[in-house]
Amino acid sequence: MEEKKLDINSIIGFVLIFGILIFMFYQNKPTPEEIEAQKAKQEQVEAEAQTEEQLKTVKEEPAAINLQDSTAVADYRSTIGAFGYTPASDAITTLENELISLKISNKGGQIVEAKMKNFVTHDSVPVYLVKDGNASFGLNFSTSDNRVLNTADLFFEPSMSSDGNNQALSMKAKVAPNRYLEYRYEMKPNDYLVDFTVRSQDLDGVINSSMPVQLEWTLKGIRQSKSIQYENRYTRLTYNHEDDKISKLSEGSDDEETEENVKWLSYRQHFFSSILATKERFKKAELASVNLVEEESRTAGFTKSYASKVDLELSGGELSQNMHWYYGPTDVQVLDDYKDLGLADSIPFGWGIFGWINRYVFTPFYTFLSTYFPYGIAIVIMTILVRLAMSPVTYKSYLSQAKMKVLKPEITELGEKYKDNAMKKQQETMKLYNKAGVSPMSGCVPAFLQMPIFYALFMFFPTSFALRQKSFLWAEDLSSFDTIYQFPEGFSIPFYGDHISLFPILASVAIFFYMMMTTGQNMPQQPGMPNMKFIMYLMPFMMLFFFNNYASGLSLYYFVSNLITIGIMLVIKRFILDEDKIHAQIQEQKKKPKKENKFQRKMREMMEQAEEQKKTGRR
């Protein structure tokens, strides 16, 4: 019987591997000096921005604006003022339908509050995407007398109208009764999308057409979930540019880009998004994202700070840009209603084939199941069906393991025979595999085929809006982690968190028993890798730490999936595969002449050359 040992070198190797993994997790974590430098830089930027705003604020009436009718202008200035510079009422106008409520201020004509009517945060507070000055919107432009204005400082006159069920709000910053800059908002019933038009009327002599008009939009993402780090992981600035190419700024660090032909900008806050879209693409946009989350916190209120500067073009000295505001859920069922804008592409389904599987297979499949079953039961049913669909792959994997198990005595014999010649042992082992028609890598192929499914589901559960705040058993929210024990405030285990989740524990136990079946019983030790089992046993332990802060729906899936896989493998072992028959088939296969392919022949020749060189060196 083969003696199994774990020497000191192997232990050192495993410790180094674990240390490398820890290093990889924290390699991007900023040092205290970098954090202080970042804070200082941010304070400097805020100070410069405040100074710039003060310089832009014009406290005197701009008498140098050249208008055609000076008498009419003088009369008008005496009552309202030019471009709203004389004090005016900072009143609020509300646009609302069954889904959202938008508050637009006279000052700046901008949205100062956006509230979701049908959703609440983890602590039952209404979801706000804009509130208490976390966002700003304005146009920067130069006048013909070389003044630099920002519409955020101007006062607009509101005018409400209704066309059937549609509401329209016109906000005008006037120079004269028929000369103005207008923001027009149009809201439809049961619709998250608000049409937004920016246009000027007879201002070709006021706006300096030789200088660009720049749209500036900033927003700080308001926290909505109980874990700000988890929420921040799926909070990103995403945009459509060039030929409908979808790109994103950095997820975990500060980032900025300058892009051309931009169709829409999405300030995604995990399950909710603030989007500015246009069918007439912006020719140039400067984008920036600042990460505001340094560590897990129960009190931090914001995730990321976004900023965009977009160049708008004048036509004949006038401004006209048709756009859309979207304030609503990051839900594929909602965003798919705006196919002409392609807003559903802002959802992080994953890249390549993984995203395709997530979007067009798992998302509609789960939506169908959840219409008939509770959300947690729907996950269990989907898991069962997925594992049954993958059972042929499981069978292939188990068959490969069974063949390797049958060959284990012969492999052990070769190991003893050539224990002093590793090269010869490897060469003879390869010959044995070739004669028996067995590939030691064949067990990896089925696992490789399952990778697209694994990754697609990995992205599905944390980003599926359908799971948000849906409970199952002890889990209050399947889109976030479940908590059976909360550590005292201020106490946290590194890499693990400040709480204990039960579903990850169950999933890790199931994975451990699955590893016991595959590596402990069915898979023999591979030549050159005597301690592979130990590495595999390490996986459940790492998964326990990794999934403790992930969506409980994902842990539920892996728990049920591994239980089903164990059951399938037991059925295959006891009722389908017969090891005696497999052994007989291998022996028959070994008797048949085996023709080498080019790769096998090349490998054999290389090994023979290496063996010959080794012998020559000894002489």
Reference 93, options 194, 197, 185, 218; nearest CA is 185
Does 394 lie in the same domain as 325? no
In a domain, 203, yes or no: yes
pLDDT, tens only, 409-443:
767 776 676 666 666 677 667 766 666 666 666 55
The yes-or-no verdict on residue 531 having pLDDT over 60 is no
Q: 555: Cβ–Cβ under 8 A, 6 or more apart, which residues?
A: 482, 501, 503, 504, 506, 507, 547
Percent of the chain clearing pLDDT 70 (strictly above):
68
SS (H, E, C) 73-126: HHHHHHHCCHHHCCCCCCCEEEEECCCEEEEEECECCCEEEEEEEEEECCCCCE
Q: What is the pLDDT of residue 285?
A: 94
Q: What is the pLDDT of residue 186?
A: 96
Reference 102, options 324, 265, 268; nearest CA is 324
Confidence of residue 583 (pLDDT cuts 50, 70, 90): low
Task: Extract the tokens encoding 152.
Answer: 């955020």
* Residue recorded with tokens 């999405």: 266
The SS3 call for residue 503 is: helix
Parallel, antiparallel, or unpaired: how do β-strands 193-201 and 92-96 relate? Answer: unpaired
- Measured CA distances, 132 to 111, 112, 158, 506 (Å): 11, 7, 21, 43
Q: How far apart are CA 96 and CA 113, in angstroms?
A: 11
The yes-or-no verdict on residue 45 having pLDDT over 60 is no
The yes-or-no verdict on residue 397 having pLDDT over 60 is yes
* Residue recorded with tokens 């085996």: 594
With vertex at residue 345, the alpha carbon angle to CA 340 and CA 351, rounded to the nearest 5 degrees, is 145
- Measured CA distances, 383 to 111, 362, 368, 376, 565 (Å): 44, 11, 14, 11, 10
The yes-or-no verdict on residue 522 having pLDDT over 70 is no
Q: What is the pLDDT of residue 258?
A: 93
Of 348, 370, 402, at which residue does a domain stop? 348
Q: What is the pLDDT of residue 80?
A: 35
In a domain, 615, yes or no: no
Reference 181, options 325, 314, 326, 324; nearest CA is 314
Of the listed ranges 84-88, 205-209, 307-311, 403-407, the least confidently predicted one is 84-88
Q: What is the pLDDT of residue 62?
A: 35
In a domain, 559, yes or no: yes
Of the listed ranges 16-20, 65-69, 390-394, the least confidently predicted one is 65-69
The yes-or-no verdict on residue 255 having pLDDT over 60 is yes
Decide: residue 547, CB within 10 A, 0-12 exposed, 13-18 middle, 19+ buried. buried
Does 582 lie in the same domain as 519? yes
CATH code assigned at 80? 2.70.98.90
Does 374 lie in the same domain as 331? no
The yes-or-no verdict on residue 579 having pLDDT over 70 is no
Does 318 lie in the same domain as 195? yes
Does 422 lie in the same domain as 319? no
Does 395 lie in the same domain as 525? yes
* Residue recorded with tokens 């805020």: 46
The yes-or-no verdict on residue 565 having pLDDT over 80 is yes
**Helical residues (DSSP H) of 67-199, grouped into ranges:** 70-79
Q: What is the pLDDT of residue 74?
A: 39
DSSP code per residue over 424-453: HHHHHHHHHHHHHT--TTTTHHHHHHHHHH
In a domain, 250, yes or no: yes
Does 167 lie in the same domain as 98? yes
Reference 324, options 182, 198, 154; nearest CA is 198
Q: What is the pLDDT of residue 119?
A: 94
Task: Extract the tokens encoding 131.
Answer: 């509130």
pLDDT, tens only, 178-199:
889 999 999 999 999 999 999 9
- The backbone torsions φ and ψ at residue 517, rounded to the nearest 5 degrees and listed phi first, read -70, -40
Q: What is the pLDDT of residue 585?
A: 61
In a domain, 473, yes or no: yes
Q: List own/partner pairs for 593-597 with CB under 8 A and 24 or more apart.
A: 594/434, 594/435, 594/437, 596/434
Task: Extract the tokens encoding 245.
Answer: 């190419």
Confidence of residue 542 (pLDDT cuts 50, 70, 90): confident
Task: Extract the tokens encoding 93.
Answer: 């106008």
Confidence of residue 455 (pLDDT cuts 50, 70, 90): confident
In a domain, 616, yes or no: no
Q: What is the pLDDT of residue 270?
A: 92
Q: At what angle do helices 502-515 and 552-571 cross, to 10 degrees?
A: 30
Q: What is the pLDDT of residue 368?
A: 93
In a domain, 279, yes or no: yes
State the total domains in the chain: 3
The SS3 call for residue 134 is: coil
The yes-or-no verdict on residue 462 having pLDDT over 90 is no
Of the listed ranges 51-60, 215-224, 547-556, the least confidently predicted one is 51-60
DSSP code per residue over 557-576: HHHHHHHHHHHHHHHIIIII
Confidence of residue 64 (pLDDT cuts 50, 70, 90): very low
| Amino acid code (one letter) for 143 | T
Of the listed ranges 32-46, 70-84, 129-143, 306-320, the least confidently predicted one is 70-84
Between 617 and 391, where is the model more confident? 391
Tell me the residue range of the domain where 571 lies: 361-598
Q: What is the mean pLDDT of residues 267-278?
A: 95
Q: What is the mean pLDDT of residues 240-263?
A: 92
Confidence of residue 70 (pLDDT cuts 50, 70, 90): very low
* Residue recorded with tokens 């991007």: 28
Does 48 lie in the same domain as 75? no
Q: What is the mean pLDDT of residues 568-592?
A: 66
Q: How far apart are CA 458 and CA 355, in angstroms?
A: 11
In a domain, 619, yes or no: no
Q: What is the mean pLDDT of residues 312-328?
A: 91
Does 155 lie in the same domain as 71? yes
Does 302 lie in the same domain as 391? no
Share the mean pLDDT of the chain: 78
- Measured CA distances, 188 to 276, 282, 327 (Å): 17, 25, 13
- The backbone torsions φ and ψ at residue 75, rounded to the nearest 5 degrees and listed phi first, read -65, -40
H or E, element range at 167: strand 166-176
Does 438 lie in the same domain as 488? yes
Q: What is the mean pLDDT of residues 540-547?
A: 82
Confidence of residue 51 (pLDDT cuts 50, 70, 90): very low
Q: 540: Cβ–Cβ under 8 A, 6 or more apart, which residues?
A: 508, 509, 511, 512, 515
Decide: residue 57, CB within 10 A, 0-12 exposed, 13-18 middle, 19+ buried. exposed
The yes-or-no verdict on residue 313 having pLDDT over 80 is yes
The yes-or-no verdict on residue 532 having pLDDT over 60 is no
Does 375 lie in the same domain as 269? no
Number of Cα atoms under 13 Å in the Cβ half of residue 36: 3
With vertex at residue 531, the alpha carbon angle to CA 451 and CA 395, rounded to the nearest 5 degrees, is 40
Predicted structure pTM score: 0.74
